[in-house]
Copies of this chain bind each other. A is one copy, B any other.
């Protein structure tokens, strides 16, 4: 039996978006193994109700624990917003999400202006970012906007299309008018649209991607709980990464590399019945 220090880090998302977080974890913690689950049979989570997203997240969290992960990163803003507390209460391993790290990075980056937050309908309706930012900085002003078409536009690869620019222009109008100085990309798909979003927002607006900050928080948590992989164990033994999807994995395999930024060679298939 492997010690829990050598066990993989579990992580999940509704689909492919969380691979942007996996990429940040792999760069920051290069000796750690990952087990990534993408719920492609039920994607997207953004427009779905809190109850449904929570049910899916608990099902996946329990499965990851059965697979022997030493901790779980909820690499999806909607699932973090609706289910982080339920996962922390129910599961036997530590669980972190992407909202608190993103909120912390935003508060650090913002100078004077309001902080803007964009995300799925579910994330924005939950108010999770506004609460997390206000918990960090009681005087922070927060402006939120749902951008429900950004996920399908990214999933279809229209990251540099005039239609995407028009839709971004409409979605981001209230952010420009309020002169936010910091904009949280509160969905793991949105970093793939950062060129379009930055062009709409103009110079001087900082875009916050919570992936890096989440990787830093995870590292600290692993140190605090003595769960970092043992250097002696790691030496000479490459980490092993598993990617698992709930729908047939061809689409995940074809598109995943775009999010992960390294080639994907194999995707397993697991169905919840």
Query: Looking across the interface, which residue of chain B has its beta carbon closest to that of A155?
Result: B47
Assembled-state Cα–Cα distance A185/B85 (Å): 44
Bound-state CA distance A94–B271 (Å) is 29
Q: How far is the CB of A262 from chain B (nearest CB, A)?
A: 24
- The size class of the interface chain A forms with chain B is 20 to 34
B residues within 8 A CB of A156? 148-149
Interchain CA distance A203-B180 in the complex, whole Å: 47
A127 CB–B CB distance under 8 Å: no
Instruction: Scan A261-273; emit 1 where CB is below 8 A from any B CB, else 0.
Output: 0000000000100
Contact partners of A152 in chain B: CB under 8 A: 148-149, 152
A120: shortest Cβ distance to chain B, in Å? 12
CB within 8 Å of B: which A140-183 residues: 148-149, 152-153, 155-156, 158, 161-164, 166-167
A161 and B165 alpha carbons, distance in the complex (Å)? 13
11 pairs across A/B with beta carbons < 8 Å?
A40-B48, A47-B251, A49-B248, A50-B248, A51-B248, A52-B246, A149-B152, A161-B166, A162-B166, A163-B166, A166-B166
